[in-house]
Amino acid sequence: MTAEHINEDVEAAGVAYDDEADDTLIAVVGMACRYPGAVTPEEFWHNVVTGVDGVRTLTADELREWGQDPEQCADPRYVREHGVVEDIGDFDAAFFGISERDADLLNPQHRIFLECAWEALERAGYDPLAVPGTTGLYAGAGRNGYAAVIRDRADRFPGVDDLTLSLANDPEHLCTRVSYALGLTGPSVAVMTACSTSLVAVHTASLALLAGECDTALAGGVTLRAPLSGYRHREGGTMSPDGRCRTFSEDARGIVAGDGAGVVVLRRLRDAIEDGDHIHAVIRGSAVNNDGHDRAGYTAPGVRGQEEVIRRAHLAAGVSPGDISYIEAHGTGTPVGDPIEVTALAQAFDADGTGGRTTRDTGAEGPVALGSVKTNIGHTDTAAGVAGLIKTVLALEDRTLPATLHFTGPNPRIDFAATPFDVTTRTRKWETSRLPRRAGVSSFGIGGTNAHVVLEEAPDAVPAALPPAPAEQLLVLSARTPTALDTMAGRLAEHLRGHPELPLDAVARTLQRGRHAFGHRRHLVCADRSQALAALAAPAADTAVRPEAAPDGTPAVLAFAGTDAWETGSVRRLYASHPAFRDAADACCRALTAPLGRDVQRLLTTDEAVAGPESERVARFTVAYALARTLVDWGVAPTSVTGRGQGALVAAGVAGALPLADALRIADAAVRGAEPLRDAIRAAAWRSPETPWIQADTGAPVSPDEAADPGFWPELAEDTPPRPVDAAALAAGGGRLVLEIGPGRTGDARTALLDAVGRAWCGGATIDWDRLHTGPDRSRVPLPTYPFERRTHLVRPRPAPGTARAPETAAAPSETERPGPDAPEPVERALLALFRQVLGTPEDLTDPDLFEHGGDSLAAVELLALIEERFGVGMSLDDVFDHPTVSDLARVIERSLI
């Protein structure tokens, strides 16, 4: 699409867009996170804005469970404070096709980051398995001791080697694992710059977008300490003696550690605007550098490097210091690091020596607000930079500046009066005349790699002078399991209650285009929020269709029945808004004689009623025919059509069993009497249908000779309505999905159309969702993400001497349970034990498929080794790929043993 077309579309939506000025801007369109006390960005923001400190005291039981020495923990210098992410072992392995055993092996950092990547894309309004264009991923993970725990518990994982452990735990495999799981084909780059990792990832991802290496990028980081522990404080060290982060405060004495994960979804601003993305904020520019040797030591920060990275970020963003009204600092709370950071900031804000902000009196509005999220969650290491970014994005969106916690007075080594900065000690509205609101986010890593990002609040994307959206909307939900589908419905209802401002059409578009279609499906047609809430709360049996959809969908029968009139207003709205409906209706009007054509045209375009029985009959045919053509245009391609009375005639026209003009003449003749009807039927050019046309009772095909016999049409001229189509009989014949097209209870044509689309989608049809929505408004909105059904997959260290054994996840068979080489048990039972050993599958699975339960080629190699050890039989990978179930592979082994 050309820039000219982009501008036309964007201007129609009321967004100020400068093609040249905005060419280097990046939109933040989605976010997901796990930080202490928060599993969503909304919870994270609530905690930050209400002043919650997520750092808590580790209990004695927790420390014992992670194998900590009780005597060490009793040391008075031992600090038990930590920013804990709860339930780090919980994971929905089945959702991602990972076996139970491999989930146990997989580092919790990899698991949680994978879930966050999925959630971030859903929050951006995109199907994580089908993001348009090329998607890149830039992120990093810290190093923890989980692999060492696995090695120490090798008895639980026989056959696991160092390569398997590396793939499951090392940070370099974080991004590529996610790219594999989600099918992302853009650059997949592990970033590692210590504490600045995730903000460097954001910078790198932004550059990749601007260079055209990808169209969408995920960026972030994760750090989870495992084993979980406190730390021993020593005077003069970097760690806080009381486990509180007191950034910039007079009593700041060091860092407290925290765990977390954060992911943002980035797109070029012009693309985000064009595609209707929800833009949380804009990245105007960023920079990355290193302190080099201009600092006190390798681990010490440097003033010059921090100053320079901020200056470069301002230059990249095209802003001056006077444009910035908030800084989210690195702010670790160390007595030396904080003064260095403020000094560097002050010098950067006086970058040109003339118009800079050197004191709090320089700007007309007073000082620049200064804060640090580390006072809320601790130092989350590789996830720290993205935590500050997400906090600042949410602050811009909410136009609120949160308080920095634990500040009792300024660090005596910081002369705030000589700087343009002031620590934000109370939460307040972000009021400034320097619009749009802009902020800087800093993150500095041990080793000297510095990153700074300049953010700007999102452009005003409120649609201007757009035609109102149709009231009736189709909401679609799908999940891997029925229980997840029920949970999803409840979450959506709760979200709609909490966000009454959300347009229902935007909710519908987001669900249709921004979620992956799983096997268990449900659809709702509703005209307003109250109807949506009522439908979501209704018993699932009344509103859900839950087949495991076949790859090509269920065979669909379009069934036309009933002669009731459609509500004329809904017909006019469809004609005005949907090209496929309009084109089909216009074709009918052209095929009619002039007087009848004019009557039907008035029905489609004005408030005038259709006069006379002939006009009414052909108008009903026209509407039904146009609805069918619209369904086909939207992706509902019927495998057959049927109907009774005039519905059968519509079916014949849709199937192509006769020309449209002949079908309309027969509809007209049916009103004028039996003889004109017989003549019209005999005169029609009947032919073999392009789409099978079947009888409503038996499902048998209708031949041209049958259709040309007036005796085939006894209900067409009757005054009484024809009997309804026997949907149950048709569905039973060949497992068909019957989509009845009729006015129903309301007579609303759009409602009938959407209900048919919803039922077809529930049956497995692939719908062209973009064709359901016309006009320039393509907006997506953030909605609840997939309700993962997690199980605990956490291996803990061996208990410390003198302590109770820590709780475990499902263990592999013990040596006494494993069959010996001379065991007389059947091959299938012995092989099942080997499958369970490789996959960690539950005991109620009696014939698991290796690959359906998360196994891969490495699992197959391990299984082959166990088979050779147990049975003395050498087999190939092809044997496993060709016979992946226990029962099938057992037969192959038995034949080899003969």
In contact, 118 and 785? CB cutoff 8 Å = yes
The residues that bridge with 287 in the sheet, in sequence order, are 452
Q: What are 747's two structure tokens?
A: 């007579």
How many angstroms separate the CA atoms of 356 and 408, rounded? 29
DSSP, collapsed to helix, strand or coil, labels residue 733 as coil
Catalytic residues: 195, 330, 379
The residues that bridge with 474 in the sheet, in sequence order, are 525
Per residue in 423-432, is it b (16+ CB within 10 Å) or e — as a string?
bbbeeeebeb
CA–chain centroid gap for 176, Å, is 18
How many angstroms separate the CA atoms of 118 and 181, rounded? 10
The residues that bridge with 475 in the sheet, in sequence order, are 524
Q: What are 745's two structure tokens?
A: 């209870």
Residues 6+ apart with CB under 8 A from 702: 652, 657, 689, 693, 694, 695, 712
In contact, 506 and 466? CB cutoff 8 Å = no
Residue 892, H or E segment:
helix 886-897
Cβ neighbour number for residue 278 with a 10 Å cutoff: 22
Q: How far apart are the first and last CA of the chain?
A: 67
In contact, 687 and 658? CB cutoff 8 Å = yes
How many angstroms separate the CA atoms of 27 and 277, rounded? 9
In contact, 506 and 564? CB cutoff 8 Å = no
> Considering only CA atoms, which of 266, 274, 207 is closest in space to residue 390?
266
Calculate ∠ Cα 598-602-603, nearest 5°.
120
How many angstroms separate the CA atoms of 426 and 403, rounded? 4
DSSP, collapsed to helix, strand or coil, labels residue 524 as strand
Q: What are 671's two structure tokens?
A: 């009103």
Taking each continuous run of H as one helix and of E as one strand, the counts in the chain are 33, 25
How many angstroms separate the CA atoms of 619 and 615, rounded? 6
CA separation, residue 368 to residues 359, 362, 707 (Å)? 10, 11, 82
DSSP string, 641-656: EEESTHHHHHHHHHHT
CA separation, residue 879 to residues 855, 866, 873, 892 (Å)? 15, 14, 12, 8
DSSP string, 680-692: HHHHS-----SS-
In the block, which residue shows the tokens 């939506």? Answer: 13
How many angstroms separate the CA atoms of 45 and 376, rounded? 11
Cβ neighbour number for residue 821 with a 10 Å cutoff: 8
